[in-house]
Amino acid sequence: MSTTAQALLPDLADPASFQDAVPFGAFDYMRSQPGFYWQDASIGVANGGFWAVTRFQDILDIEARPDLFSSVPGAAWPGTNLPADPQLNPTIDLLMHMDPPRHSSVRRVAAKAFGPRVVKNFDPWVREIVVETLDRIGTLTSFDYITEVAQVVPALVIAQIQGVPREQRQWIVDRTLDAFAAQGTGDLAQTAEAIEKTMAYYREELIPLKLREPQDDMTTVIAHAIERGDVTIGEGHSFLNLLQGAGFETTHTLIGQSMRMLLEDPEVAERTVRGIDELGPDKVVDEFLRIITPAMFMSRTASEDTVVGGQEVRKNDLLNLYFIAANRDETVFDRPDEFDPWRTETASLTFGSGTHRCIGNALAKLELRILFEEMSKRGFSLRLDGEPQRGRSVFINQIRSLPVAWA
């Protein structure tokens, strides 16, 4: 790559590069070049930066080899290059920071609760949450769609799955927002502080409550798994924290960004309505997931010198797998920048692939599908009532404010 071309590309380590929009043009250029793009970085790395992996097949190849490309040193930059020592690394028990076989045994405990067949049974109570939310905004003249809908629905859904008492749910949501805001700016100390507050709640309050008063929720399942020795205390607490963070933030982004697209682009709105009518909501939801890609990347660390995607990679090199770029790979998707629920290429990397493919993907789809269905029943029609505001994050394709009014 020429020095001139490289100088024109954004700094992928700087949240400001994602403040106004995702740099899709830069990702397109990176995909067109041989090997991977090297981004200098001063934190979270062992070798002075990270490789930006932007092609679909390269990401599949890397995620298929956890023996060569490990999650243990950290799964999302800049929370990477972490020591494999429980005393020095508070995230060591996080499912995202494990490789097989340990990853497989811990994931097995939780995965039973999130299979498509199980999640299908969530429909009635998730629908109740959506209906309650839509009834409330129906009384408002104008409002922020993010704070009144996009945050509320997934927060209440995850809290119910965990069995968090209603009066404590907003506190949990606030800590999750704190952690993602700190992570997006690279403030690892604030990120760790927000996570530890949540972990202390699970450790000191919620799990003891479920052991005294078991209920049909995920925390009860985890608490009993800890008692049986199926998972360690740290693994159980960390899974609950992961469920809250991943289940809330990515779905919150999906709900908010999909509405922004509907309000800003009449063609997207028309294709959404027609797509739901002709195809049903699932295909439409899948296309929103592809084109939005809430979690823009995940990270892997090379465990030895190797070559992948035509690129020589050194031991301890960090690779950021940009799902958001690969989901617009023109060798995989026809007209990749176009919103098209009728497309035949349906396998996206929104939820990753391989052993770390997100176990909550069916739940995220269910929430947006029900939201579309219930808004359609009511004939809800919104318009922008101000300028949408993106989040400041290198990791999540965030939208933090979407002012709307009734059309």
pLDDT of res. 184: 60
Architecture category of domain 3-406 in CATH: Orthogonal Bundle (1.10)
- Strand bridging mode 306-308 / 311-313: antiparallel
38: number of Cβ within 10 Å:
16
Please give the helix or strand (H or E) that residue 319 lies within, else none: strand 318-322
pLDDT of res. 4: 47
Question: What is the length of the chain?
Answer: 407
Q: Which candidate, 40, 67, 37, places its Cα nearest to that of 53?
A: 37
- Strand bridging mode 318-322 / 49-53: parallel
Name 380's Cβ contacts closer than 8 Å, sequence gap at least 6.
134, 138
Amino acid in position 237: H
DSSP 8-state secondary structure symbol assigned to residue 96: G
- Strand bridging mode 69-70 / 142-144: unpaired
Cα diameter, the chain: 64
Measured CA to CA, the distance from residue 333 to residue 248 in angstroms comes to: 28
pLDDT of res. 115: 66
With tokens 């023996």, the residue in question is 67
Q: What is the DSSP string of 17-86?
A: GGSSS--HHHHHHHHHSSS-EEEE-SSS-SSSEEEEE--HHHHHHHHT-TTTEESTT-SSTTS-S--S-T
Q: Is 389 helix (H, G, I), strand (E, B) or coil?
A: strand
Q: Are 284 and 272 in contact (CB under 8 A)?
A: yes
Q: Are 48 and 38 in contact (CB under 8 A)?
A: no
Q: Could you tell me the pTM of the whole model?
A: 0.91
Q: How does pLDDT run along the chain (407 residues), one tens digit per residue?
A: 544 455 579 999 999 999 999 999 999 999 999 999 999 999 999 999 999 999 999 999 999 999 999 999 999 999 999 887 777 777 788 889 999 999 888 888 877 767 677 788 899 999 999 999 999 999 999 999 999 999 999 988 988 888 999 888 888 878 877 877 776 666 767 877 887 888 888 889 999 999 999 988 889 988 988 999 988 888 888 888 888 878 888 899 999 999 999 999 999 999 999 999 999 999 999 999 999 999 999 999 999 999 999 999 999 999 999 999 999 999 999 999 999 999 999 899 999 999 999 888 889 999 999 999 999 999 999 999 999 999 889 999 999 999 999 99
